[in-house]
Chain A
Amino acid sequence: MGIHRFLLPALLAGAVLQPTGVQGAGYGIYEQGVAVLGMAGAGTASVHDPSAVFFNPAAMSWLSGAQIHAGGTALTTNTSFAGTNPYPGYGVTEEMRRQTFFPPTLYATRRYNDRWSMGVGINSPFGLGVDWQDPERFTGRYIVTRADLRAINGAVNWAYRVTPQLSLAAGGNILFAQVDLRRRVLVPSPGGGGGQVDVASVRLHSDYDPGYGWNAAVSYAPVPEWRLGAAYRGKIVVDTEGDAEFTQIPTGDPVFDAGVAATLPPDQGVSTVLRFPAIWSAGIAWLPAGTWTVEGAVVFTEWSLFRDLPLRFKQTPANDETIVEDYRDTFAFRFGAEHRLPAFTYRFGYYFEQAAAPAPSVTPLLPDAARNGATVGLGLPLDAGKRWQLDLYDLALFVDRRGTEGRERDGFDGEYKSFINAFGAGLTYRFQPPGEQ
């Protein structure tokens, strides 16, 4: 029991940390359940813990009694950049600060009777964290020096068991999102040489504002060896407002600085629209011999929703800006297996996900690229009655090296290289032992 007392507070502490990170294509974070992630996220058909609230709410019908799950992932990102001509030039390299993010997950499900189940969840299915080293010299500082997108999602779903083999589910999401962008303003220096001087730093910081969406899912278990699942999570659009702060950076030339001060916008309100795409998923799972689960799942994300990031200034509309993104819808193909032994369960998996950003949108704000992920996972019952279960996983995410093909929208061309590691832990408690209904 000592381990429980140690772990639970840690996990709860993780749940209140502000989630951020960048993990899936675009700014998606599919790392929303430790057991499913041990199988590389292939869980739409086979999920069998409270993370069904996210992966497939209809699968809640197959869960016994009431269950609660708290978990989280530590995402460590490592991104670097090498420049090409014309800007910032061959030979230039840049690096992001290595960061670790903690997107939390908290789920609870309850089966009321043979027909109805309900589940609630809090997680962070989207997020972005960018922090370039040496921001005062970073060659892309006119685009971004630091950016954080934080999103906390609350979900409630109901599942209805139509037949002993078929379950349908529906529910809603409320997602609170906030964005924080920082960059520098540079202007040509007055010497006529075309060089630039930093004259201001800009910070756009929004409040947490809500957006709403809905879920639908189906789970079908025609025979004990096979299970099929499909889930839909609707898009969410968040209109958010916040503050824009413009801080002048003195150059040392009072006349020039006075000129800059005269043109620098005042601190003011700013609004933007944050778009979180719809996610479709479908999976088929094979459960031979009662101890193995093998699943293949396809996840389709409607990234084309992310066409731009509009910035609207309250007092100086002349500064309004629309950061064009023109993302494309993506497919991810996820494969995973789970082997349940009497003493423990182990899992492994692999997935491939397409890039959402076209080459012109591969920017220091979000250097998106296709990726291959390999995962391993472990499930450990912590007590004889198997009410407590600890799950662990690790994901090594090999992000493809991605170039801008000389077409980056703000003229910042080169290649990005990223590696991400995700380590997650989750604790599940079943109010009734497995087997009891």
Chain B
Amino acid sequence: MIAMKTSSLTRLVLVALLASGCAKIEPLSSPAAVGGSADFGTYVALGTSITAGYQSGGVANQHQMTSYAASFARQTGKPVLASGTGSFTYPAIGADGIPPLLRLVSLSPLQISNAGRTLGSPLNLGQVGAYHNYGVPGALLLDLADETHYYATVPPVNRTTFTFFDLIARHSGTLLAQAASLGPTFITFEYGANEVLGPATSGSGVAALTGPQFAALLNGTLDALEAAAPGVKLALFNVPDVTTIPFVTTFPPVVLDANGNPVIVNGNPLTLVGPGGTPLGLGDYVLLTAQADLAAGNGFPTGTFSYLTGAAGTNQPLTDAEVLSAGEAASIRSAVDQYDAAIASEAAARGAALVDLRGLLQRAATTGIPFQGTEYTSEFITGGLFSLDGVHPNDLAHGILCNVLIDAVNATFGARVPHVDLRGLATATSSRARPAAAGGRARPRIEGLGDGLAALFPWRDEPAP
């Protein structure tokens, strides 16, 4: 009796188990994007080096393919190919990039260099017709509808050498006209950063445009864009506070002791020797470009030692271009505030999505951005968001930015664009190089950064009026 009942119970249990589908869950696949009131049929990205996917001092297709623009194209159903061809075309540049990308040669001493890397070549320079990604490193808002300064040595931009316009605009008319030739239905628009980044990274507080100038130019440019691409839907990026990037914030303006603590004299931290021999203020910034001087002991008062190398202080002042003073930084921030007010106002007036790039960078610089249980920050090298040039976002940050874009687009247009997979974008190094064997004192040496900056910000030698 007992045996019989037990066996029927067992049978019931087995039936229940089988019916439950207790097998492991099947992998989920990404849903297709739904446009809502937006149409992602032809997507064109307009903007600066960020839009181009510039990282670690150069442009290379491995990062062009992970730019926020490429990811957005992918999330809206367009394959992005390494050749730059397909339904989201871009001016693909092969290994090792133009200029060759920096890599982390060694962690200690900290050495970042593009030495030994070869200059990349364009892969689809001959593409017939326009590209879909018109992110141009170094581009100003002015450049979108005005090709005067693309290739020539014409003020106010003074592009004296090679520019990315050669590779991207290809002497085929303005970027705006080329973009419009595709009949875009959706455009992301990312301008304004270079107007402040150029001066900030060369120690100047004079933005390329005043707030009112920027607002007027933006209004006119967007009018022209909407006229050239009737019915297009827009997503406008605002401008980040460029004084929070590692390029600006990495080197402290004070002398440090062997333990990394500020040297205190008369109750105050002892500061470095600034332009003209004047001691820096605590609110001044020493730019990444000062590394060679700092390594040689320049900028350190006599009797102190370089916090990079331990070299004896020479009391030689840092140059004006190596220092962004507190006052200059405040001017830059004020310009950013005014640019962003204009962008927000245009977005509201035109029914465009507003992409809060500024807020994202602000979070990185303050609270940090959580990912996998860790706060990612704006710290150079260790923060996890910036590439090795200390200015441009890495693949992961592009993915995070793309998700901010997606959230804004979904909210504004009632669209349902799925988020980007961030895990696939978080890589061990930003330019595929392992740190070399470590040892000795940390000593940043960033070789090749100057080439990239010269290409990006050509007015470094002749500042814009």
Instruction: Show the binding face of A for B, using Cβ within 8 Å.
Output: 78, 80-93, 95, 139, 142-143, 183, 185-197, 253-256, 343-344, 374, 376, 378, 380, 392, 394, 396, 398, 401, 406, 410-411, 414-417, 419, 421, 423
List 11 A–B pairs whose Cβ atoms lie within 8 Å, in order of A's numbering. Answer: A86-B419, A139-B423, A187-B382, A188-B374, A190-B104, A191-B104, A192-B381, A195-B426, A196-B426, A255-B442, A415-B25
Instruction: Tell me whether A410 and B373 are in contact (CB under 8 A).
Output: yes
Residues 83-133 of B contacting A (Cβ, < 8 Å):
104, 107-108
Cβ of B1: which chain A residues have Cβ within 8 Å of it?
343-344
CB distance from B23 to the nearest CB of A (A): 8
Instruction: Tell me whether B24 and A95 are in contact (CB under 8 A).
Output: yes
- Known contacts A82-B25, A192-B56, A374-B16; decide if A90 and B107 are in contact (CB<8 Å): no
- Known contacts A89-B421, A378-B5, A411-B372; decide if A396 and B395 are in contact (CB<8 Å): no
CB distance from B233 to the nearest CB of A (A): 23
Q: Which residue of A lies closest to B106 (CB)?
A: A255
Asked if B2 CB lies within 8 Å of chain A CBs, one says yes
Q: Which residue of A lies closest to B403 (CB)?
A: A86
Asked if B40 CB lies within 8 Å of chain A CBs, one says no
Instruction: Tell me whether A416 and B25 are in contact (CB under 8 A).
Output: yes
Instruction: Tell me whether B395 and A194 are in contact (CB under 8 A).
Output: yes
Apart from the given pairs A93-B27, A191-B430, A416-B25, 11 other A-B contacts in the complex at a CB distance below 8 Å? A84-B419, A87-B372, A90-B28, A193-B429, A254-B439, A255-B442, A256-B107, A392-B6, A394-B13, A396-B20, A419-B22
Instruction: Tell me whether A410 and B370 are in contact (CB under 8 A).
Output: yes
- Tell me the complex Cα distance, A12–B335, Å: 77
Instruction: Tell me whether B29 and A90 are in contact (CB under 8 A).
Output: yes
Cβ of A81: which chain B residues have Cβ within 8 Å of it?
25
Asked if B134 CB lies within 8 Å of chain A CBs, one says no
Cβ of B373: which chain A residues have Cβ within 8 Å of it?
142-143, 183, 185-186, 410
Cβ of A343: which chain B residues have Cβ within 8 Å of it?
1
- Tell me the complex Cα distance, A143–B373, Å: 7
Instruction: Show the binding face of B for A, using Cβ within 8 Å.
Output: 1-2, 5-6, 9, 12-13, 16-17, 19-22, 24-30, 56, 104, 107-108, 370-374, 376, 381-388, 394-397, 399-400, 403, 418-431, 433-435, 438-439, 442
Q: Which residue of B lies closest to A399 (CB)?
A: B20
Per CB-CB distance, the 3 closest pairs between chain A and chain B, nearest first, are A191-B429, A194-B396, A188-B384
Other-chain residue from A87, A95, A417, A419 in contact with B422 (beta carbon distance below 8 A): A87
Q: Which of A87, A380, A392 has the most CB of B within 10 A?
A: A87
CB distance from B310 to the nearest CB of A (A): 17
- Known contacts A188-B383, A253-B435; decide if A194 and B376 are in contact (CB<8 Å): yes
Cβ of B9: which chain A residues have Cβ within 8 Å of it?
376, 378, 392, 394
Other-chain residue from B383, B423, B429, B434 in contact with A87 (beta carbon distance below 8 A): B423
Q: Which of A183, A196, A410, A414 has the most CB of B within 10 A?
A: A196
Instruction: Tell me whether B394 and A192 are in contact (CB under 8 A).
Output: yes
- Known contacts A192-B56, A194-B396; decide if A255 and B5 are in contact (CB<8 Å): no
Instruction: Tell me whether B5 and A344 are in contact (CB under 8 A).
Output: yes
Cβ of B422: which chain A residues have Cβ within 8 Å of it?
85-87, 89
Cβ of A188: which chain B residues have Cβ within 8 Å of it?
374, 376, 382-384
- Tell me the complex Cα distance, A255–B25, Å: 42
Q: Which residue of B lies closest to A92 (CB)?
A: B27
Cβ of B384: which chain A residues have Cβ within 8 Å of it?
188-189, 192, 194, 196
Q: Which residue of B lies closest to A256 (CB)?
A: B107
Other-chain residue from B13, B25, B382, B403 in contact with A190 (beta carbon distance below 8 A): B382
Instruction: Tell me whether A86 and B420 are in contact (CB under 8 A).
Output: yes
- Known contacts A191-B428, A192-B387, A196-B372; decide if A406 and B419 are in contact (CB<8 Å): yes
Other-chain residue from B25, B371, B421, B439 in contact with A85 (beta carbon distance below 8 A): B421
Instruction: Tell me whether B27 and A396 are in contact (CB under 8 A).
Output: no
Instruction: Tell me whether B26 and A189 are in contact (CB under 8 A).
Output: no
Cβ of B16: which chain A residues have Cβ within 8 Å of it?
374, 394, 396, 421
Cβ of B27: which chain A residues have Cβ within 8 Å of it?
82-83, 90-93
Q: Which of B423, B425, B427 has the most CB of A within 10 A?
A: B423
- Known contacts A394-B9, A411-B371; decide if A194 and B382 are in contact (CB<8 Å): no
Q: Which residue of A lies closest to B429 (CB)?
A: A191
- Known contacts A376-B9, A392-B9; decide if A189 and B428 are in contact (CB<8 Å): yes
Instruction: Tell me whether A256 and B426 are in contact (CB under 8 A).
Output: no
Cβ of A416: which chain B residues have Cβ within 8 Å of it?
25
Cβ of B104: which chain A residues have Cβ within 8 Å of it?
190-192
Instruction: Tell me whether A89 and B372 are in contact (CB under 8 A).
Output: no
Instruction: Tell me whether B423 and A88 are in contact (CB under 8 A).
Output: yes
CB distance from A152 to the nearest CB of B (A): 28
- Tell me the complex Cα distance, A16–B383, Å: 49
- Known contacts A80-B25, A191-B433, A196-B372; decide if A89 and B424 are in contact (CB<8 Å): yes
- Tell me the complex Cα distance, A186–B423, Å: 13
- Tell me the complex Cα distance, A141–B17, Å: 29
- Tell me the complex Cα distance, A393–B395, Å: 55
Instruction: Tell me whether B430 and A423 are in contact (CB under 8 A).
Output: no
Other-chain residue from B6, B19, B374, B399 in contact with A187 (beta carbon distance below 8 A): B374
CB distance from B20 to the nearest CB of A (A): 5
Cβ of B421: which chain A residues have Cβ within 8 Å of it?
85-87, 89-90
Instruction: Tell me whether A255 and B429 are in contact (CB under 8 A).
Output: no
- Tell me the complex Cα distance, A380–B4, Å: 13
- Tell me the complex Cα distance, A357–B385, Å: 32
Cβ of A401: which chain B residues have Cβ within 8 Å of it?
25
- Known contacts A193-B428, A194-B397, A253-B107; decide if A85 and B420 are in contact (CB<8 Å): yes
Q: Which residue of A lies closest to B379 (CB)?
A: A188
Instruction: Tell me whether B28 and A82 are in contact (CB under 8 A).
Output: yes
Cβ of B20: which chain A residues have Cβ within 8 Å of it?
396, 398, 419
Q: Which residue of B lies closest to A83 (CB)?
A: B28
CB distance from A65 to the nearest CB of B (A): 26
- Tell me the complex Cα distance, A86–B401, Å: 12
Q: Which residue of A lies closest to B380 (CB)?
A: A192
Instruction: Tell me whether B13 and A80 are in contact (CB under 8 A).
Output: no
- Tell me the complex Cα distance, A197–B107, Å: 15
CB distance from A132 to the nearest CB of B (A): 13
Q: Which of A93, A194, A376, A378 has the most CB of B within 10 A?
A: A194
Q: Which residue of A lies closest to B104 (CB)?
A: A191
Instruction: Tell me whether A82 and B26 are in contact (CB under 8 A).
Output: yes
Instruction: Tell me whether A193 and B427 are in contact (CB under 8 A).
Output: yes
- Tell me the complex Cα distance, A87–B371, Å: 9
- Tell me the complex Cα distance, A186–B424, Å: 16
Q: Which residue of B lies closest to A403 (CB)?
A: B28
- Tell me the complex Cα distance, A193–B371, Å: 13
Cβ of A396: which chain B residues have Cβ within 8 Å of it?
13, 16-17, 19-20
CB distance from B428 to the nearest CB of A (A): 4
Instruction: Tell me whether B403 and A192 are in contact (CB under 8 A).
Output: no
Cβ of A91: which chain B residues have Cβ within 8 Å of it?
27-29
Instruction: Tell me whether B374 and A142 are in contact (CB under 8 A).
Output: yes
